[in-house]
Copies of this chain bind each other. A is one copy, B any other.
Amino acid sequence: MKIILKPEIKHITESLDLFPIIRNGFIAYSEGKSVVPPVGELSFKNPPGDVHIKYGYIIGDKYYVIKIASGFHQNEKLGISNGSGLMLLFDQKTGKNVALLSDEAYLTDVRTAVAGAICAQQFANEIHCIGVIGTGLQARMQVEYLKKITACRKVMVWGRKTEKSEEYSSYMMNLGFKVRICDSPKHVTDTCNLIITTTAATEPILFADDILPGTHITAMGSDTPAKQELDPNIMEKADCVVADSIPQCIERGEISHALKDGKLTKNNIVELGHVLSGQHPGRTAQDQITVADLTGVAVQDIQIATAVYESFMENES
């Protein structure tokens, strides 16, 4: 078993063109060419924490992948990162463990950011201002990865804590973005035609009346049944609602809330892989509102872990 640590994983990952890797994962998933069981889950109360086990394989590939990722939000108080994680690769022919990627959740962060950028590229109109709800790691990485698909460097950010928004602003300015801190989420929705929600909120932050025609929203914060960032009326108002995984989004994330509230029917949900493969058109007019709900699918982990491991082995040989 090869054990690959975060610094090496990071080095390899930066050299990979992840966009086709993740795109192909979503397409394989939507075409039924992968096996991705429901997410395994553990919850802790004191201190609060969530663990997700995402696993599966692409049929005919060399490896299957099991990822364990956790978020313990009070870790901050201890001066350690909230997120942790590792990925394991096993041989599809023998079950033997071939590698442990001790990525400390880095690959999850990257594949999530890449999925966001893929959605922006696929669904947004020409981006004139990037709106961000939240100021955490994904609020940074989602925007950072947009560099690869747009020339826009204007960012408007809203966060609950001014201090965090200021930190966010100075971090992103160092990456070459012009950042404006907003007083309210509405301030963001009024100006930006691409909005990314990245919080761990459990009550809506964005409301239907505030969403302008031509907006694309990528909601990537809510990945459990409890979390929610969007007013379900947004789903009713949207012209195209996209799920990274329909079965998963029925159970968790924004779409699950909209279904429960009767603001959306299952037939009106499109799966990301079907748009990426061209089977569904996605946005068909400039003034449409589109929403992509990203809950994170194991196929992204399978694809990124396999790519990193194969690159590692090539470099070794």
Binding site for B on A (CB under 8 A): 1, 3, 35, 37, 40-44, 47, 49, 51, 53, 55-57, 64, 66, 68, 70-72, 75, 78, 80, 83-84, 86, 88, 90, 92-97, 100, 102
Contact = CB atoms under 8 A, between A and B. Distances in A.
Given A84-B94, A96-B84, A55 B40 contact: yes
B42 A64 contact: yes
A102 B47 CA distance: 29
A72 B55 contact: no
A90 B90 CA distance: 20
A40 B64 CA distance: 14
A53 B53 contact: yes
Contacts of A55: 40, 42, 53
Given A90-B70, A94-B78, A42 B35 contact: yes
Contact of A53 (B1, B40, B83): B40
B95 A75 contact: yes
Nearest to A97: B86
B88 A75 contact: no
A70 B64 CA distance: 12
Nearest to A3: B3
Of the listed residues A56, A96, A102, the one surrounded by the most CB atoms of chain B closer than 10 A to its CB is A96
10 contacts: A35-B42, A37-B40, A37-B41, A40-B55, A47-B93, A49-B94, A53-B53, A68-B90, A70-B95, A75-B94
Given A37-B41, A80-B94, 19 more contacts: A1-B102, A40-B53, A42-B55, A42-B56, A42-B57, A53-B55, A53-B66, A68-B88, A68-B90, A70-B90, A72-B93, A75-B94, A75-B95, A83-B95, A84-B90, A84-B94, A84-B95, A86-B97, A97-B102
Contacts of A3: 3
Contacts of A43: 35
Contacts of A66: 53, 68
A141 B96 CA distance: 22
A80 B98 CA distance: 14
Contacts of A40: 37, 40, 53, 55
Nearest to A80: B94
A94 B72 contact: yes
A79 to B, nearest CB: 11
Given A42-B56, A100-B100, A95 B37 contact: no
Given A53-B66, A68-B66, A86-B97, A92 B44 contact: yes
